[in-house]
Amino acid sequence: MEPLYFEDYHEGQRIDTPRRTVTDYDISSFVNLCGFLTPTFIDLEYVNRPEHYSGRIAPGLLTLSLAEGLVLSAGVTRGTGLALLELTPTWKAPVYTGDTIQTQINFVSKRLTSRGDRGVVRTENVVVNSKGETVATYASARMIKSKTFGPTSGEEN
């Protein structure tokens, strides 16, 4: 997909990212890197008990990170994104090893900043698994370049 400038976002716009399958390696790496060393993430006997889960689950923050990685891999902000300003997640269901997820990006609003060459774009993002179940939602705000971004003509560099 081509990168989107501030002007390219519009009402009713929805973009579906590529999909990604969550692997045991993804979960193990994240859990060890971040120190999520609790039975919920490292003890398969514990999580397989009927009162818990039916397999190894990904930490919610890993799901959020993978969802954002899918947004980036879609190319929407490649070369136009200046800053991630806000992420407000809500987790709806566990993501298990072997689940394939995708992020749906839904445009909410935009406003130009006082500089006039960039704006803030707000989206509501929905993370779904291959069964079509919503596993997480999150609002995001990003600073995005406008098509007039950069020094104006006649301005010294």
Domains parsed from the chain with CATH numbers: 6-145 (3.10.129.10)
Q: Could you give the 3-state DSSP secondary structure of residue 28?
A: helix
- Whole-angstrom CA distances from 122 to 7, 68, 110, 127, 152 are 13, 14, 6, 16, 26
In angstroms, the CA 34 to CA 140 distance is: 23
Residue with more model confidence, 93 or 153:
93
> What pLDDT was estimated at residue 52?
87
- Whole-angstrom CA distances from 70 to 21, 34, 39 are 11, 20, 28
pLDDT tens string 66-103: 999 999 999 999 999 999 999 999 999 999 999 999 99
pLDDT tens string 7-55: 999 999 999 999 999 999 999 999 999 999 999 999 999 998 988 888 8
Q: Whole-model pTM above 0.75?
A: yes
How much of the chain exceeds pLDDT 70, in percent? 96
Q: Write down the residue that tokens 């969550």 correspond to.
A: 22
Inter-residue contact 70 to 124 (CB < 8 Å): no
Q: What is the DSSP letter of 96?
A: B
